[in-house]
């Protein structure tokens, strides 16, 4: 299917326009201008070309760059933007609980005014933390992290198509393990807590894990792969993985295969910070990355990390698609051609299932597993159907005095303290005989103790 939007078809006089022109008495000197566009007319900008297969093509920018030639190219070529720096922790929360959304808001407003979508970058990261957070540890840092995510993702709620919830948490080198950081030292579960908190704050955004040096099957990408697989199996809300793709003069031959293995776990993949060192291979590496994304149905878009070479954090490597004078480079043409060579597959979510609802009946049980620290907790509740399928469930949980729920995922809570009923949401009420599903909630104070009761419908 061709999803090309009308704005890339060039000036075409359509029959209706022609009739109106005639009715208005306009002179019609050249009726042959009534030419339909070729079915496979090439799009002339990156964004329009990517949109032919339902993908976005974005660029990193900064609010102070939204003028002159940078803005002209940005608005013409791209249909998505990401804040290069202005949505990071140091920029958005310079004092603890003192938030500044000026730059981020300007970027979102610019995107809206120009019909672009916005990626969010990045809620939590070991780098670019404000000084006050760098000096925190343990529970104080954990609580600061969840507060930061809640406030920032909450502020931009509904305006961000994908958030980099956690950035660069894995170590380089051969081990495939986590990077040491103040966040990692709060406990290995910090990443899943971050994702759960982000889901509660902006349920409509795709939630991504984002990292670099993951441009093929290697120890680091495999460590991340194992984490994503684990998250999916336990119902931790992760929707996408970002591959930064800050590339040199070579590209791993299994770049596409690596994207595909993540997609096969049931997450979207996105190329999030693409730039490629200038050299004889620049255009071909850009092209191969683009073709790899197009070949993976769940690769939903590409973002380049800047517009012109002189805008880049690697400016002495001239790694972008436009030179310092704003001219299109050979790499630009290779990307555009690649995007135009494919009109599908469209990134899709799996087709809706047509399985008939199971019959009413059968009971259920629920069990809680708790991650708690001094002052807060995350509870994961497993709901298991008895020996017949169920159509819905309600789990009743008694919370100790002083405990308050601050976020719930995969369930609807009746309140935030005391005895709380959690009911299934639309997509997880049906559970087959002996099958199970998970929901969770987090809060301040002490987590629930004892076994909750489960009622099936």
Residues that bind ligand G2I (CB under 6 A): 84-85, 128, 167, 212, 244, 273, 313
- Listed in sequence order, the residues at least 6 apart from 399 whose beta carbon sits closer than 8 Å to its beta carbon are 405, 417, 418, 419, 420, 443, 445, 448
Token digits for 358?
Answer: 């199971």
Closer of 242 and 429 to ligand G2I (Cβ):
242
- In the complex, least distance from residue 125 CB atom to ligand G2I, rounded to whole angstroms: 7
Contact 261, 221 (CB under 8 A): no
Q: Which H helix or E strand runs over 60?
A: strand 56-61
Q: How far is CA 385 from the centre of its chain?
A: 32
The DSSP symbol for 328 reads B
Helix (H) or strand (E) holding 230, with range, is: helix 219-234
Q: Does residue 295 sit in helix, strand or coil?
A: helix
Tell me how far, at minimum, the Cβ of 302 lies from ligand G2I, in Å.
15
Q: Which is nearer to ligand G2I, 8 or 275 (CB)?
A: 275
Q: Min. distance of Cβ 167 from ligand G2I in angstroms? A: 6
DSSP 2-47: ----GGGS-S---HHHHHHHHHTT-----GGG--PPPTTPPPSSHH
Give the whole-angstrom CA distance, residue 66 versus residue 39.
35
The 10 Å Cβ neighbour count of residue 353 is 6
- For the question of residue 86 being annotated catalytic, the response is no
Counts for the chain of helices (H) and strands (E), in that order: 12, 17
What element of type H or E holds 139? helix 138-155
C-beta of 145 vs 411, nearer to ligand G2I: 145
Q: Which of 77, 86, 273, 287 is catalytic?
A: 273
Question: Given 77, 84, 93, 168, which residue is catalytic?
Answer: 168
Closest to ligand G2I by CB, 172 vs 230, is 172
Question: Which of residues 305 and 439 has its CB atom nearest to ligand G2I in the complex?
Answer: 305
CB of 209 to ligand G2I, least distance (A): 13
The smaller minimum CB distance to ligand G2I, of residues 167 and 214, is found at 167
Any catalytic annotation for residue 273? yes
Q: How far is the CB of 244 from ligand G2I (least distance, A)?
A: 5
CB-nearest residue to ligand G2I: 313
Determine contact, residues 366/454, Cβ cutoff 8 Å: yes
Q: Tell the smallest beta-carbon distance from residue 393 to ligand G2I (Å).
A: 41
Using CA atoms, how far apart are residues 265 and 267, in angstroms rounded to an integer? 6
| Active-site residue list | 168, 273
């Amino acid at each position: 299917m061709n999803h090309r939007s009308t704005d890339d078809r060039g000036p075409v006089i359509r029959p209706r326009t022609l009739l109106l022109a005639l009715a208005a008495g306009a002179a019609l000197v050249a009726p042959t201008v009534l030419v339909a566009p070729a079915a496979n007319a090439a799009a002339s900008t990156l964004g329009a070309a990517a949109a032919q297969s339902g993908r976005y093509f974005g660029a990193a920018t900064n609010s102070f760059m939204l003028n002159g030639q940078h803005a002209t190219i940005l608005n013409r070529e791209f249909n998505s933007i990401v804040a290069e720096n202005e949505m990071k922790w140091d920029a958005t929360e310079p004092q603890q609980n003192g938030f500044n959304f000026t730059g981020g808001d300007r970027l979102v407003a610019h995107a809206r005014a120009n019909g672009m979508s916005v990626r969010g970058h990045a809620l939590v990261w070991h780098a670019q933390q404000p000084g006050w957070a760098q000096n925190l540890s343990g529970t104080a840092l954990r609580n600061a992290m969840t507060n930061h995510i809640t406030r920032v993702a909450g502020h931009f709620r509904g305006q961000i198509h994908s958030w980099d919830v956690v950035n660069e948490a894995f170590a380089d080198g051969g081990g495939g393990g986590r990077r040491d950081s103040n966040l990692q030292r709060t406990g290995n579960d910090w990443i899943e807590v971050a994702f759960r908190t982000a889901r509660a704050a902006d349920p409509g955004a795709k939630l991504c894990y984002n990292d670099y040096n993951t441009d093929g099957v290697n120890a680091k990408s495999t460590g991340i792969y194992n984490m994503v697989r684990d998250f999916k199996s336990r119902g931790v809300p992760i929707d996408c993985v970002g591959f930064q793709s800050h590339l040199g003069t070579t590209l791993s031959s299994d770049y596409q295969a690596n994207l595909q293995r993540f997609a096969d776990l049931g997450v979207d993949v996105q190329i999030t910070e693409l730039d490629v060192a200038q050299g004889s291979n620049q255009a071909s590496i850009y092209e191969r990355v683009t073709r790899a994304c197009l070949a993976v149905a769940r690769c939903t878009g590409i973002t380049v990390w800047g517009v012109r070479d002189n805008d880049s954090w690697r400016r002495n490597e001239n790694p972008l698609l436009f030179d310092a004078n704003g001219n299109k480079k050979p790499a630009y043409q290779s990307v555009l051609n690649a995007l135009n060579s494919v009109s599908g597959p469209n990134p899709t979510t799996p087709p809706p299932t047509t399985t008939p609802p199971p019959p009413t009946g059968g009971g259920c049980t629920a069990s809680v597993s708790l991650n708690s620290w001094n002052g807060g907790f995350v509870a994961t509740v497993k709901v298991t159907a008895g020996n017949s399928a169920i159509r819905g469930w309600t789990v009743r949980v008694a919370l100790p005095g002083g405990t308050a729920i601050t976020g719930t995922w995969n369930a609807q809570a009746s309140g935030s303290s005391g005895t709380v009923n959690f009911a299934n949401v639309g997509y997880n009420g049906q559970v087959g005989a002996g099958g199970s599903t998970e929901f969770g909630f987090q809060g301040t104070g002490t987590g629930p103790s004892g076994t909750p009761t489960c009622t099936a419908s």
